[in-house]
Structures are given as C-alpha cells and as structure tokens.
Amino acid sequence: MDYEKLLDKAYNEVKTITGSSERFEIPRVKGEVAGKNTIITNIQEIASYIRRPIEQLAKFLLKELAVSGKIDNSRLILNRKLNSNLVNEKIQLYVKEFVLCHECKKPDTEVISEKGIKFKHCLACGAKYPIKSKI
C-alpha cells in the first residue's frame, strides 16, 4: 500500500471526538437573594477552580458590578439585588482578563509581578502578557 491509501485507512479508523472539547468550564454562580442583598454561596469553589485568590475575584466583581459587599465565611455578600447572569458575565470577563492565556487559550497561568507591573505568565506555552486592568 502506498502512503495515501494508508493515510485514508487511518483516518477512517480513527474515532472522532464528539461533544465539547473545552476542558475549562467555570462553575455557574449559586446563591440567593436575601432582602436587598445577593449572596453568592459558591464563590470559594469558583475561585479555587480558576486558581485565583477569593479576595482578588471578589474585589474585581465589586468593582465591575459597582456594588459594595464583603466576604463572609466563604460567601460573597453583595449589597444589591443582582441577576445571576450578570454576575456570571463578570466572572467570564475576569477569567478572560486574568486567567486565560492570550496565546494558547489555556487556563494554566499565574500572575507575577516584576518591577511593579503585573504579568500573566502561561505555564503551558511560556507566553507573558502585562495585565491592563487594575484590581
């Protein structure tokens, strides 16, 4: 058999992958509305999944949602009624800015600081980008 026929045979026998190839799916926020407050009960789970400090994630959410709040026993209490879709959008924005690599799109990054400038360093491909947003 020549190379072309062997290649065609291999392609026919290879199992195709169905479903999502995305391995990085952020957990959706879970919470409740208590009076005028929105309480996010799984903020600790989300922060540990994206491997970032809960304080940094909470500070970003408070700034982006223009709301005051606090961390209380691994819950985030926001002093306003909010829709969960809005909070999920802001978490996606945080992940895009502070977690995902711009080059390879993998979440295997760390935030490092050099001479007062924060960089997102990818452990998978080695890319390094300055972080534009401040938190």
Quick check: is 84 in a domain?
A: yes
Domain check: are 38 and 65 in the same one?
yes
In this structure, is residue 108 part of a structural domain? Answer: yes
pLDDT of 14 strictly over 80:
no
**Average pLDDT estimate for 123-133:** 85
Residue count (the chain)? 135
Domain that holds residue 131: 101-135
Residue 41: partners with Cβ closer than 8 Å, 6 or more residues away = 30, 31, 32, 75
Taking only the tens place, the pLDDT of each residue in 24-43 is 788 899 989 988 999 999 99
Whether residues 46 and 79 share a domain: the answer is yes
Dist CA 47 CA 57 (whole Å): 7
Q: How many domains does the chain have?
A: 2
Please, are residues 79 and 73 in contact by the beta-carbon 8 Å criterion?
A: no
Cα separations in angstroms, 27 against 43, 57, 86, 87, 102: 9, 14, 14, 12, 21
Residue 22, domain member (yes or no) = no
Residues 39 and 88 in one domain: yes
Residues 118 and 63 in one domain: no
pLDDT digits (tens, 9 = 90+) for 99-109: 998 888 888 88
The Cα 119–Cα 106 span in angstroms is 16
**Is the pLDDT confidence value at 122 over 80?**
yes
Lowest mean pLDDT among 3-12, 16-25, 74-83: 16-25
- Let me know if residue 16 belongs to a domain: no
* One domain for residues 134 and 94: no
To the question of pTM greater than 0.85 for the whole model, the response is no
Residues 37 and 88 in one domain: yes
More confidently predicted of 112 and 20: 112
Degrees (nearest 5) of the Cα angle 74, 31, 43? Answer: 35
47 and 80 together in one domain? yes
- For residues 57 and 95, the answer to whether their CB atoms sit within 8 Å is no
